[in-house]
Amino acid sequence: MKQTVDLTIIESQALGAGFNTPAISVAPYQLVSLQVIFTFGAGTSAGSVSLQSSNDNVNFSTVPSSSLSYTSTTTNHIIELQRVGFKFLRLANTHTSGSGGTCKVIAHCTIGN
């Protein structure tokens, strides 16, 4: 039986500096996808987002091949992971320039067929 969980991790986060989202527990799930929705007004911003994983919710490592760059023309990204083998997941934002824009992060987690 297929079960899904949808979570809004952050509703609106300014992109003017680096940040990490709160970690979510993904241990029971086989498939996890994070959608990052970017909104830019008059300001500009550039940087990259990546997924970070942990088994103890303290020490995090970047998930291979999960980094994506953004600029003030980017609208959204979806990063998908299959066969999740760790307990916690968060999104890290590395800010490189600018001070405009916000992002929203939504998780979709699935267990079963």
Give the Å distances, CA to CA, from 26 to 43, 50, 65, 80, 96.
34, 16, 18, 13, 29
Report the pLDDT value the prediction gives residue 90, as an integer from 0 to 100. 94
Q: What is the mean pLDDT of the chain?
A: 90
- Note the Cα 105 to chain centre separation in Å: 6
Instruction: Give pTM, 2 decimals.
Output: 0.89
- The pLDDT confidence band at residue 85, using thresholds 50, 70 and 90, is confident
Mean pLDDT for 97-101 is 89
Mean pLDDT for 72-81 is 87
CB atoms within 10 A of CB 87: 16
Residue 113 has pLDDT above 80, yes or no: no
Q: What are 86's strand-pairing partners?
A: none
Taking only the tens place, the pLDDT of each residue in 8-35 is 999 999 998 999 999 999 988 889 999 9
Report the pLDDT value the prediction gives residue 105, as an integer from 0 to 100. 95
Report the pLDDT value the prediction gives residue 74, as an integer from 0 to 100. 84
